[in-house]
Amino acid sequence: MTDPPYGLGFKRQQWDYELPTLPELREVFRVVKPGAYLIAFSGSRTYHRLASRIEDAGFTIHPLLAWIFGTGFPKARKLEIEGLEEWRYGLQALKPALEPIVLAQKPASESSMRSNVLRWGTGALNIGQARVPVQGDSDDEDAKDGAQLGRWPSNVIHDGSQQVLDAFPDTPGASSDTKASHQTTQTGGRVFNGVRKPMDLQARGDVGSAARFFYCAKPTAQERNADGPNLHPTVKPLALMRWLCSLVTPPGGEVLDPWCGSGTTGKAAVDLGFGFVGIDQDSEAVETARRRVAGAQPGLPL
């Protein structure tokens, strides 16, 4: 789980002129368990290069995750040509509103993923923990089973800002079960046109922005500096990193961040009771990360 350099020269920061190298990614591949997931944020212009390197290192690439936010600003230049006053050019002429996130996995060592999970504890996603809460849902697991606690998580995540919400239309939820021709299997799944669909399709009858179908990771006020000054320029929301950690980390598991920056991933991991190993070449960022992780669990040896 990492937010590595994007290779874009962000604010002329020296650390952002190179993506993670193939040798570095091969070392990550070597030390993680079979079936383990790799989650890596990337720039929208350099995602393809990072994903290719991760794949070349030995990982299997899953469909990407999309982090949608409302805080980006365009950096466009006018053409200064009569009659084309509203035309712009540049590498960021459109307002940036999405960061692609690589989701990859080290291949299993066993003949089946079930056997791999039994041996290593890794290989599956924690869908139940990552479900998108629905207004009115109960948190009492004895009262409701996992399929009723929330919507099935998707590969879209957003920040809940008004700009993002405005981009989604108001959409009513299903007031009754789907009208597609189906039959219920003995295991509770459904068969559509002869194909079994294991997803939960229960009617919820809710209304509002379609953004409610996707996980919302809102940053809390002043969380960046909650454990002391944090000058790192690319801090991710803590809620976002908690959700991602819970999605891929098994109970009692350990999260590795080879480009840990100011330690948001580590703070999120420790908050959830996971172990954490963080690495960064910036000594100032490492000290900030140590302080933030210690704030999540006072007395933790660092």
Q: What's the pLDDT tens digit per position in 124-145?
A: 999 999 999 886 444 444 334 4
Give the residue among 213, 201, 150 at the shortest CA–CA distance from 176. 201
Confirm if 89 and 77 have CB atoms less than 8 A apart.
Answer: yes
Residue 174 binned pLDDT confidence (cut-offs 50, 70, 90) = low
Q: How far apart are the first and last CA of the chain?
A: 19
The predicted-structure confidence for 15-41, as pLDDT tens digits, reads as follows 666 899 999 999 999 999 999 999 999
Q: What's the pTM value of the predicted model, to 2 decimals?
A: 0.83
* Distance from C-alpha of 44 to C-alpha of 88, rounded to nearest angstrom: 19
The neighbour count for residue 244, using CB atoms within 10 Å, is: 27
| Strand residues in the chain grouped as ranges (E) | 37-41, 60-61, 65-68, 75-78, 88-92, 98-105, 132-133, 150-151, 156-158, 182-184, 190-192, 195-197, 215-216, 254-257, 275-278
**pLDDT tens profile 229-283:** 665 656 789 999 999 999 999 999 999 999 999 899 999 999 999 999 999 998 9
Q: What is the DSSP letter of 15?
A: G
Please report the domains of the chain, with CATH numbers, ordered by start residue: 233-302 (3.40.50.150)
d(CA 199, CA 154): 11
Q: Residue type for 150, please?
A: G
> Are 257 and 293 a contacting pair, CB within 8 Å?
no
- Among 1-10, 100-109, 111-120, 136-145, the minimum mean pLDDT is found in 136-145
Which pLDDT score, from 0 to 100, does residue 179 have?
46
Residue 68 near residue 97 (C-beta atoms within 8 A): yes
The β-bridge relationship of strands 75-78 and 150-151 is: unpaired
Is 42:102 a contact under the CB 8 Å cutoff?
yes
Average pLDDT over residues 85-100: 92
For residue 177, which of 157, 154, 197 has the smallest C-alpha distance?
197
Token digits of residue 36: 């383990």
How is 48-79 classified by DSSP, letter by letter? HHHHHHHHHTTPEEPPPEEEE-S----EEEE-
Top-ranked range on mean pLDDT: pick from 78-82, 90-94, 116-120, 194-198? 116-120
What is the residue-wise DSSP string for 145-188?
-GGGSEEPP-SEEE---HHHHHHS-B-PPPSSS--S-EEE-TTS
Nearest to 41 by CA among 301, 295, 240: 240
Q: How far is the C-alpha of 166 from the C-alpha of 156, rounded, in Å?
A: 16
CA distances (Å), 150 to each of 42, 56, 207, 215, in order? 28, 36, 15, 10
